[in-house]
Amino acid sequence: MNPVIWRPSVKRQEKANISRFMEKVRECRDVNVTDYEELYRWSITEPAAFWDLMWQFAGIIATCKGTQIVADADKMPGTKWFPEARLNYAENLLLKGHENQCAIIFRGENGESQHISYGELYRHVSQLAQALRNDGVILGDRVAGVLPNRPESIIAMLATTSLGAVWSSCSPDFGVAGIVDRFSQITPKVLFVGDGYFFNGKTFDRTSQIAPLLQTMPSVERLVLIPVINSFDGANENQVTLWQDYIDGFPDNQPIAFAQMPFDAPLFILYSSGTTGPPKCIVHGVGGTLIQHLKEHRLHTDIHAGDCLFYYTTCGWMMWNWLVSGLASGATLVIYDGSPLYPSADSLFDLIDAYRINFFGVSAKYIHALKKAAITPKDTHSLASLSTILSTGSPLAPDSFDFVYESIKSDVCLSSISGGTDIISCFVLGCPILPVRRGEIQCRGLGMKVEVYDDKARSVTGEKGELVCTAPFPSMPVGFWNDPRQRQYHAAYFEKFPGAWSHGDYVALTDQGGMIMYGRSDAVLNPGGVRIGTAEIYRQVEQIDEVLESLIVGQDHDGDCRLILFVVLRPGLQLSDQLIAAIKQHIRQNASPRHVPALILQVTDIPRTKNGKIVELAVRDIIHSRPVRNQQTLANPEALEQFRQFLPLLG
């Protein structure tokens, strides 16, 4: 059993939204739930009652809710939630009664800052919605953005969805091929583009993308350019309109006519990473996205109106969508665009003190980088407002849990969360009334019947296996774009274990209801027939002071799986026989002899997606002399070249 390293105070538990929700369960449903485990059990045994009460508790705005909560509940996929409901996502985020409260605080790496109230946000969205409607954008049309994480990105999304159109976005560091791979599949009518962005002290001009994007995506009738670095001269681009010119002439006091949409009408299109094939266009629905985010924000994160929510993300990651939904809870969003480590490794902590951030979201990789750099924010910052730290993107190592409580803040709820683009939310996440155990995610999400299957599809506890969800939930994708018979959709999630969603995570469910993450199941190592999650090895290697990062893959060799570990060392260090021996010995002592790699090789960089996730499969393809597809989806495809130089050694 992993030790408890934090417990919520009695006062914190009493004030938590989830405690009030349990009172509602007792009052409205006459069910005596007194703790999280009892609430969770009720939520998965009575899902219609749970989601009905969640709708009421969150105060979802709709012209019609309907009397039927779920139809075809025995179909997976195929269940219909709130089939009679009519609502609008943007209307639920542009809250009435909060006009003077700050909705968005923007801070750019270059020092630019903006504060936008809920009232101002409504007026900006109204103007842009009128401009889009004037351009013929109607229900179901697609509008896309290649944008930095700025207020204009949120305004464009809200204006689009207010009309019942579908929003899709990616970050501006994507190349033209990566953008076209995604957006050409969904044929957007309007495209929003930033003229550039700032990152790590540098300015990046992206205006050279405009012409090729218009040439390769003939569906785009209008390209709206957002001046970020003010580099566009407007020459020879008749389809290009500057943001301010686009909205000029439309009054900002016009009430928004929010299109009332079915619960499962398309809202967002997100994309699979594309590292194993063309990016799949994952369609998420209006109601499922909204109610799931409200559940996670209100009950699992404990966001109250007026709280300040930050997550470091780009517009190409589902955490951006998750963050923006915080407006539906009356939160103030702090959005940041730039490098999280510039001009110093602890720069993001300046934002906590400057804007009194309550919920601070970052990647596990960022926390690991702070630890490696020996940063101690508790010694340099107040952090008095900080109540919760959220972490995702990859498994959070046990020693990173220690680092948070020793070097950042001792009284904070550390919520490691995991889910993904596929469900635009989480399967396992935090809970403000539960203790935090070292190396564990606190709990399974309410209303999510999450189990762990072994190879024979048996549900197990305390053993490693595949994370599955064995009952439908509202934020399941509506489907994939251009997949009318849902063949791709079914193959992606339901082929491995028919009747259950297979998520591709290698995990273990603890006796206390927590979850330990061991990495992606498609990257699981199998030396001598023993299944090992990549995170098990990373947790040990990251403790080696000389090692900054690592990547491990399995190579088919002599009828078995040979483990190859690649390491990035601190500047100026070379991999010596002594260091190799020390790494192997540490892994052997703290994991097992099976975990010890056969070879350890030094590289200068690790390939990763633009969201910062390590791409083991690409390296595995290289060492097996297979082509690596969709390299344009990588943030640093040049990193792959040094792995090819090891092919003679690995043959």
**Whole-Å CA distances, 313 to 303, 467, 492:** 19, 25, 25
Q: Is 569 inside any structural domain?
A: yes
User: Is-contact 515 441, C-beta < 8 A?
Assistant: yes
Angle at 397 between CA 395 and CA 402, to 5 degrees: 140
Would you say residue 477 lies in a domain? no
**What is the number of structural domains in the chain?**
2
For residue 145, being part of any structural domain is answered with: yes
Among candidate residues 639, 288, 625, 641, the one with its CA nearest the CA of residue 472: 288
Q: What is the CATH number of the domain that holds 593?
A: 3.30.300.30
Residue 273's pLDDT band (cuts 50, 70, 90) = low
pLDDT tens-digit map of 50-100: 999 999 999 999 999 999 999 999 889 899 999 999 999 999 999 888 899
Look at 284-293, 366-375, 396-405, 608-617 and tell me which has the smallest mean pLDDT.
608-617
CB 433 within 8 A of CB 16: yes
Residues with Cβ < 8 Å from 612, sequence gap 6 or more?
363, 365, 393, 394, 635
**Lookup result for tokens 């959220």:** 390
DSSP assignment of 241-271: EEHHHHHTTS-TTPPP-PPPEETTSEEEEEE
Averaged pLDDT for residues 32-53: 97
User: Which helix (H) or strand (E) covers residue 124, if one does?
Assistant: helix 118-134
- Kindly report, residue by residue over 413-441, the tens digit of the pLDDT: 999 999 999 999 999 999 999 999 999 99
pLDDT tens per residue, range 485-503: 999 999 999 999 999 999 9
- CATH code of the domain containing 185: 3.40.50.12780
Tokens representing 150 are: 């700025």
Other Cβ atoms within 10 Å of 473 Cβ, number: 26
The reply to whether 627 falls in a domain is: yes
Cα dihedral 293, 296, 301, 302 sign? positive
Instruction: Mention every residue, 6+ apart, whose C-beta is less than 8 A from residue 127.
Output: 247, 250, 251, 252, 254
The pLDDT confidence band at residue 344, using thresholds 50, 70 and 90, is very high
Listed residues 227, 259, 291: the one ending a domain: 259
Average pLDDT (436-447) is 97
Whether residue 433 contacts residue 19, with contact meaning beta carbons closer than 8 Å, is answered with: yes
Of the candidate ranges 155-159, 294-298, 397-401, 404-408, the one whose mean pLDDT is the lowest: 397-401
Helix, strand, coil shares of the chain, percent, nearest 5, are: 35, 25, 40
User: 369 lies in a domain?
Assistant: no
Q: In the predicted model, is pLDDT for residue 556 greater than 80?
A: yes
Cα separation, 462 vs 200, in Å, equals: 43
CA 535 to chain centre: 19
- Phi, psi (deg, nearest 5) at residue 419: -170, -110
DSSP assignment of 187-234, as one string? --SEEEEESEEEETTEEEE-GGGHHHHHHH-TT--EEEEE-SS-----
Chosen domain end from 259, 294, 328: 259
Structure tokens at 623: 């060492």
**Omega before residue 77 within 30° of 0, cis:** yes
Number of Cβ within a 10 Å radius of residue 618:
26
Where a domain ends, among 259, 287, 319?
259
Report the range of poorest mean pLDDT among 221-225, 269-273, 459-463.
269-273
Select from 433, 301, 300, 307 the least CA-distant residue to 9. 433
pLDDT one-digit tens code per residue, 357-378: 999 999 998 999 999 999 999 9
Give the residue numbers spanning the domain of 231.
102-259
Residue 21 lies in a domain: no
574 belongs to a structural domain: yes
pLDDT at 529 over 90: no
Reported as type and span, the H/E element at residue 402 is: helix 398-403
Contact 291, 60 (CB under 8 A): yes
Query: Is 645 inside any structural domain?
Result: yes
Its sign, for the CA torsion 431, 432, 436, 439, is positive
The confidence score (pLDDT) of residue 394 equals 83
Q: CA dist 83 to 146, 471, 595, Å?
A: 33, 18, 50
The DSSP secondary-structure symbol of 395 reads P
Tokens of 153: 């990105």
Task: Report strand pairing: 479-480 vs 515-520.
Answer: unpaired
Q: What is the pLDDT of residue 234?
A: 63
Distance CA(199)–CA(149), nearest Å, equals 12
Q: How many angstroms separate the CA atoms of 318 and 268, rounded? A: 10
